[in-house]
Amino acid sequence: MSLSKKQQASSNAPLIDTLVNVAAVVHPLTALPQLITIYSSHIVTGISLWTWVGFLLIGLVFLVYGIVHHIKPIILTQVLWFVVDLLVITGIVLYQ
């Protein structure tokens, strides 16, 4: 007996749910090297303030979407990205 596509998709849901929750935390952590460089060396040459402001503003759209639709992984990752974006922006402003 073979499973329908819908049954197969739902049987894989716990795995993808776990992966999405892990990715929601790990993805923002990929910016840690940038943060460490900014705050340890105080060198922000080549780091665009407007790029990071853009990341922050676009991320707010996704955060609101996640909140409106009650999508926890989107909310989690966007809150973490908001913190990261804000720390990068603050570093750029401080050390320009």
Residue ranges and CATH numbers for the domains of the chain are 20-95 (1.20.1280.290)
Contacts of 8 (CB under 8 A, 6+ apart): none
Extract the tokens encoding 1: 């007996």
Quick: pLDDT tens for 48-90.
999 999 999 999 999 999 999 999 999 999 999 999 999 999 9
Quick: pLDDT tens for 14-51.
999 999 999 999 999 999 999 999 999 999 999 999 99
For the full predicted model, state whether its pTM sits above 0.95.
no
Q: How many CB atoms lie within 10 A of CB 21?
A: 14
